[in-house]
Amino acid sequence: MSETAVNTQELGEKIVTVLKTIYDPEIPVDIYELGLIYDVFVNEDRDVKILMTLTSPNCPVAETLPVEVEEKVKSLDLVKDAEVEITFDPPWTQELMSEEAKLELGML
């Protein structure tokens, strides 16, 4: 495996660590465990694209949460640039939550 591939994988893991520090203000679970992050793309130029959703299209943090995600990911030294794309396809459902999130919310 090339050095670059390892670095993008390591960077991906660091990004996930950062995402786990961001919480939906209405739910005491981080956005990663909630299943709001659909994908994290890291290219060899260290540009990051995050595909995420919100719990609903009229979510009160629709304006601020993507900005917070972008800013926190950009704060990583290895990240050159970050972009967040919001999608509602597929729409978020409780099925997307991790076991940990469901346990935290008393759903298990």
pLDDT of residue 3: 53
Question: For all residues of the chain together, what is the average pLDDT?
Answer: 91
**CATH fold of 3-94:** GMP Synthetase; Chain A, domain 3 (3.30.300)
pLDDT digits (tens, 9 = 90+) for 66-100: 999 999 999 999 999 999 999 999 999 999 999 99
Beta strands in the chain (DSSP E): 37-42, 47-52, 81-86
pLDDT of residue 8: 85
Of 54 and 4, the one with more pLDDT? 54
CA-to-CA separations, 61 to 10, 14, 37, 64, 95, in angstroms, rounded: 29, 24, 15, 5, 21
| Confidence grade of residue 58 (pLDDT, cut at 50, 70, 90) | confident
Cis peptide before 66 (omega within 30 of 0): no
pLDDT digits (tens, 9 = 90+) for 6-50: 588 899 999 999 999 999 888 889 999 999 999 999 998 999 999
> Token digits for 34?
């909630």
pLDDT of residue 74: 97
